Each structure stands twice: as C-alpha cells, then as structure tokens.
Amino acid sequence: MNKNIFQRKPLMTLAIVILIAGRLAFVVFDSKASAGAAGAQPAPNFTRQGERITIPEHSPLRQRLAVQTVAALDAAHALELPAQVEADPARTVNIVPPVAGKVLELKVGLGDRVRKGQLLLVMTSGDFAQASAELQKTRDALQLAKRALERQRGVQQAGAGAAKDLEQAESAYVQAQAEFASADTRLKSLSASGASAADRSGQRLNLVAPNPGSITELAVSAGQSANDTNAVLMTIANLENVWITANVPENMLSSIKKGQAASISLPAYPGERFQGKVSFVSDVLQADTRRALVRISVPNADGRFKPNMFANVSFAVAQAAAPAVPPSALLMNNENTTVFVEVAPWTFVRRAIETGSQEDGSVRIQSGLQVGERVVTKGGVLLND
C-alpha cells in the first residue's frame, strides 16, 4: 500500500511541473500578444512628403474630398456701380423773375404737375409798369403818326401839299413803328409768354409755365419780394424721361461706351430690374472724386422714377476667357489665397493664386492655375496642417 504511494509521487510531481510550465508559457504568450495589440497605431488620413500630400487608399478623406477640373469662364463681367435718378436737364426749366417785384399770388405747390401755359404766379413790378406805359405811349404815337401820314398823302394827292411835308410824315411814321415794336418786344419778354390785355395795364405780371412738367423745386411764397432777377423761383422738370446717373471710377471708364446696355435696380422697388442704354459719358472727370458721370435715359411715363432716388446700375463688361473655380476651392494660407492642385491621383500640392472678379458662382483666376488642372473644391480645409 505504502509502496504504491511512493511509486505514484514522481508521476504526480511531473504532472504538476508540466501544468505550471504550461501556465507560465500561456502567460508569457498572452503578455506578448497584449503588448503587440497595445503598440499598433491607426493608419493616417494622409501622408506628406515635402509639399506633396497623398491620400491613402483606405483613408476616409477620399469620401470627404471633391475634386473638379478647372473650367474656362468667358461670361461678361457685371460691373455694378451706385447711381441716382435725375431729371433730364434738356427738359428742365428754371423760372426766374423777369423784373424785380413782389409776388402777389402763388398758384402752384411743390410736386404739382403743370401744363404748358398754366399760370404759376402773379407779381407786381415797377419796371413792368414802366414797360407797359412805354408800350401805351408808343402805340398812341404810332396811331398819331399814321393819321398824319394819311392826311399828308391826301393833301399831296390834291396837289396842295409840299413833297417835303409828305417825306417828313413818312419818316415820323417809320420811327413810331420802330419805337412801338421795341416797346412791345420789351413787354413781351418781361411777361414771359405774353400777358393778357388787362395785365398790360402795368398792375399785374403773370408768369406761366413754358413747358409741361412737375414742380421739382420751389423757393418762393406769396407776399415775398423777388428783387434778384437771377434767383430761381421754381423749377419745372418734364419727368416723362429721366436719367439714371452713375459715377464711374477713372480706372473703369474704358469699359463703358455710349449705347451700352445697362441693368438698373432701385431700393424703392426690390426684386425689380429695369433696362436702359448709356446715352451720355462725360468727357470731364469730377476733380474731387476722380469719377465720370454716365447717364442712362429711361422712360418714366408712370412716374415711378423720382428725382434723387438711389439706384444701382450694372454694366455687362466683355472680358477674355480665364480659368475659374468655385469659391469653396479657395483657402487662406497666411496672407495668400491658395488651392490644392491634384498632381497625381489622390496626391495634392498647395498652390498660391491671384483671384479676379466673381460672377455666376465662379471666381476668375488671374494667375496660378490653368484650364484643365484639377483642384479640391470641397473639404480642402481637412488637408491643412
């Protein structure tokens, strides 16, 4: 019995040693496996070699980047400038007093529409009274000279008159005609469009509208003295056609030509566009702003365009074809505008460019890119360091 026990002990000891050795080997193997797993690093989104950035095959960036071929843009550039509505000076009249006097009645108000010949105001004037009296005197003298000439001709025909008396009567009549014509012309010029017979008594001077239009300025009232014959009492502007006047900078003036189409918008009518053509380009620059006045004549039968309204004028300026990219392709790098250019499949290089104008959702490239090159148009910011 005891002998069998002693015989089994070496076998049990060997089994225990093998079991312990196995466990130790497992622990060592598991520790190495764990250490290997802990030391593994994820694959990078991109790799950089100098200036070249490469996107690996399984990088998630390939799903987030968009690459597009650079196209040529030859559309006309829209040059938009501030402007304002103005009355056409050729259809605008300033009413000034023909003589010094005093305004008795004012028949119109600011903004009123008037027709040709409509009474504007009534005034009294000593100069006008003197001119009226002079006309009356010359009229009477003319009638007297005419009767004297007719009598002298009758006497001459009867053979009882001297030839010199007839010549003297004819000369007096001619002089009376000249004096009457001069006085009549003087009075008509003072009465602006010809006063009525009652007005020519010298008591009242009527000023009437020489043209139809609207009263755009008014600087007089009833009872006011009008002693300055150069002072404007009111302004009448015919607004059936108006000017949209734009101020064009000196460096853009070569792009604007007479007859060129223009598109007009006004803050007063949001969402609406009006069309016109350039009718005038000033030959002189404004000294203080270095800009030239460019005017577009537009019809205004419905009166929607009112003088001094603000406006914006857009001119279509032809330009040569140039590379163009979407604005999303542009990235700022310090003070430079850059894009990522594809130099090989999924390999990109950052490149500085110079941009031009933007129209129709594309930015013109002045330098740094060629038509046909491919650039990153979406997600380029993910390639920044």
Q: Which of 311, 326, 217 minimizes the C-alpha distance to 269?
A: 311
- List the structure tokens of 89: 């000076």
Per-residue pLDDT of the chain (385 residues; tens, 9 = 90+): 444 444 444 434 433 433 344 443 433 334 444 444 444 456 688 899 999 999 998 899 899 999 999 988 876 677 889 999 999 988 999 999 888 888 999 999 999 999 999 999 998 888 787 888 888 899 999 999 899 888 888 887 777 767 788 888 889 999 999 999 998 888 777 754 444 333 545 568 888 999 999 999 999 999 898 888 889 999 999 999 999 999 999 888 888 989 999 999 999 999 999 999 999 999 999 888 889 999 999 999 888 999 999 999 998 877 778 899 999 999 988 889 999 999 999 999 999 999 987 877 889 898 999 999 999 999 999 988 6
Distance in angstroms (rounded) separating the CA atoms of residues 200 and 206:
10
Other beta carbons within 10 angstroms of residue 263's beta carbon come to: 16
Specify the pLDDT at position 360. 73
Q: What is the CA radius of gyration of the chain?
A: 49
Q: Concatenated DSSP letters for 254-318?
A: GG--TT-EEEEE-TTSTT--EEEEEEEE-SS-BTTTTEEEEEEEEE-TT--S-TT-EEEEEEEE-
Specify the pLDDT at position 43. 67
324 DSSP β-pair partners: 71, 364
Query: Taking a C-beta distance cutoff of 8 angstroms, is the pair 349, 343 a contact?
Result: yes
What 3-state class would DSSP assign to 253? helix
Specify the pLDDT at position 254. 86
- End-to-end distance of the chain based on CA atoms, in angstroms? 82
**CA–CA–CA angle 179, 181, 187 (5° rounding):** 105
Specify the pLDDT at position 372. 93
Distance in angstroms (rounded) separating the CA atoms of residues 354 and 189:
66
Distance in angstroms (rounded) separating the CA atoms of residues 99 and 226:
8
Specify the pLDDT at position 132. 81
Distance in angstroms (rounded) separating the CA atoms of residues 353 and 363:
11
Q: What global pTM score does this model have?
A: 0.55
Distance in angstroms (rounded) separating the CA atoms of residues 191 and 188:
5
